[in-house]
Amino acid sequence: MTHFTRAIVRPPGATYADGITSADLGAPDLPLALEQHQGYCAALEAAGLTLTHLPPEDAYPDSTFVEDTAVLTPALAIISHPGAPSRQGEIHTVRAALTGFYPRLAAIEPPGTLDGGDICEAGDHVFIGVTARTNPAGAAQLAALLQGEGFTTSLVDVRGSTALLHLKTGMSYLGDRTLVLVDELAERPEFAGYRIIRVPTAAAYAANCIRVNDAVILPAGYPALEAQIAALGLRLLPVPMSEYQKMDGGLSCLSLRF
């Protein structure tokens, strides 16, 4: 498992409630979202990371979801071309921040589109989701770049799903060939041979969690999943995420970890 030392984060801005959402959970409360963002940052720091805080960008209501703007490997940063036109301008400040850490950068180019939330790194293998946001051309460009960095890749086409905005909306990799999967993904042949922690539909939001060094950061309020993760010997760092769930945001998408 990659040892992470850093993460890039960006708090939601004043226009946060204008972002894209399909969740029917009401408008987000910005002060509470900012408080939850601080809790999320504290969890990343508790897992050992040093944070780079980008300033809010009100021109891009969804720009707090920085994970969608890049795919990071140990030696190469790949800037995405987000699938939602309203999000494509988010990449510029992220690229500028990554330039300070990565001597080598690449980019997904149109007509390819790709959101980082569709990319699930599982050790030397990377699952690339094909969704409404990541098209086959973007997936193919990323696969070629990752193969050049020594990764194997496979595509997971979830365009038939109404519940999964991104592939990682429904899955996470915890290390040691262990995946957290929502019911809908649990039987897919792409994941045969992995140890699977299956998350029932009622707890589906928690399937998007992140392994960071010896810890797992996961949405607060899912005790059954916490118990299964604790049984793996991993430290639990639960964080409240309600104001991000309202905007279709998974926990992973609030940071770029490297």
* DSSP one-letter string for 13-34: -TTGGGS-----S----HHHHH
Distances, alpha carbon 96 to alpha carbons 77, 102, 103, 105, 121, in Å:
11, 10, 12, 11, 23
62 versus 184: smaller Cβ distance to ligand CIR: 62
The reply on whether position 166 binds ligand CIR by CB under 6 A is: yes
253 is a catalytic site residue? yes
Of the candidates 251, 237, 240, the residue with the CA atom closest to the CA atom of residue 48: 237
Q: Quote the least distance from Cβ 82 to ligand CIR, whole Å.
A: 7
41 is a catalytic site residue? no
162 versus 192: smaller Cβ distance to ligand CIR: 162
3-state SS of 41-80 is: HHHHHHCCCEEEECCCCCCCCCCCCHHHHEEECCCCEEEC
Q: Choose, by CB under 6 A, the member of 63, 253, 256, 258 that binds ligand CIR.
A: 253
Q: Which stretch binds ligand CIR (CB under 6 A): 15-23, 140-148, 186-194, 233-241?
A: 15-23
204 versus 232: smaller Cβ distance to ligand CIR: 204
* DSSP one-letter string for 117-184: GGEEEETTEEEEEESSSS-HHHHHHHHHHHHHTT-EEEEEE-TT-SS-SSGGGSEEE-STTEEEEEHH
The reply on whether position 68 binds ligand CIR by CB under 6 A is: yes
Beta-sheet strand order (sheet of 6-9): 50-53, 6-9, 256-257
How many residues touch ligand CIR (CB under 6 A)?
Answer: 17
| N-term to C-term CA, the chain | 12
The reply on whether position 67 binds ligand CIR by CB under 6 A is: yes
Residue list 205-244, contact with ligand CIR (CB under 6 A): none
The reply on whether position 19 binds ligand CIR by CB under 6 A is: yes
The reply on whether position 117 binds ligand CIR by CB under 6 A is: yes
| Residues present in the chain in total | 258
Q: Quote the least distance from Cβ 20 to ligand CIR, whole Å.
A: 4
58 versus 103: smaller Cβ distance to ligand CIR: 58
Q: Quote the least distance from Cβ 250 to ligand CIR, whole Å.
A: 4
The reply on whether position 170 binds ligand CIR by CB under 6 A is: no
Looking at 41, 81, 120, 166, which residue is catalytic? 166
- CA-CA distance, 231 to 1, in Å (whole number)? 18
The reply on whether position 248 binds ligand CIR by CB under 6 A is: yes
Contact 194, 179 (CB under 8 A): yes
Distances, alpha carbon 64 to alpha carbons 109, 200, 250, in Å:
22, 28, 11
178 versus 245: smaller Cβ distance to ligand CIR: 245
The reply on whether position 250 binds ligand CIR by CB under 6 A is: yes
Catalytic residues: 166, 253
- Catalog residues that contact ligand CIR under the rule CB under 6 A: 19-21, 62, 65, 67-68, 84, 87, 117, 166, 169, 247-250, 253
